[in-house]
Amino acid sequence: MKIQELLDQLNDALAKLDDADITDEARDDLQLLINATERNIIRHSVDPLKRHRQMTVSIFRSSELLTAQLGQEIQTSKNERHSSERL
At 35-84, the pLDDT tens digits run 988 888 777 666 655 555 555 666 667 777 888 888 888 888 888 877 77
Q: Is residue 37 within 8 Å of residue 62, measured between CB atoms?
A: no
pLDDT of amino acid 2: 79
pTM for this predicted structure: 0.52
pLDDT of amino acid 58: 64
Residue 15: pLDDT band (50, 70, 90) is very high
The residue extents of the domains of the chain are: 7-80
Could you please report the per-residue DSSP string of 33-76?
Answer: HHHHHHHHHHHHHSSTTTTHHHHHHHHHHHHHHHHHHHHHHHHH
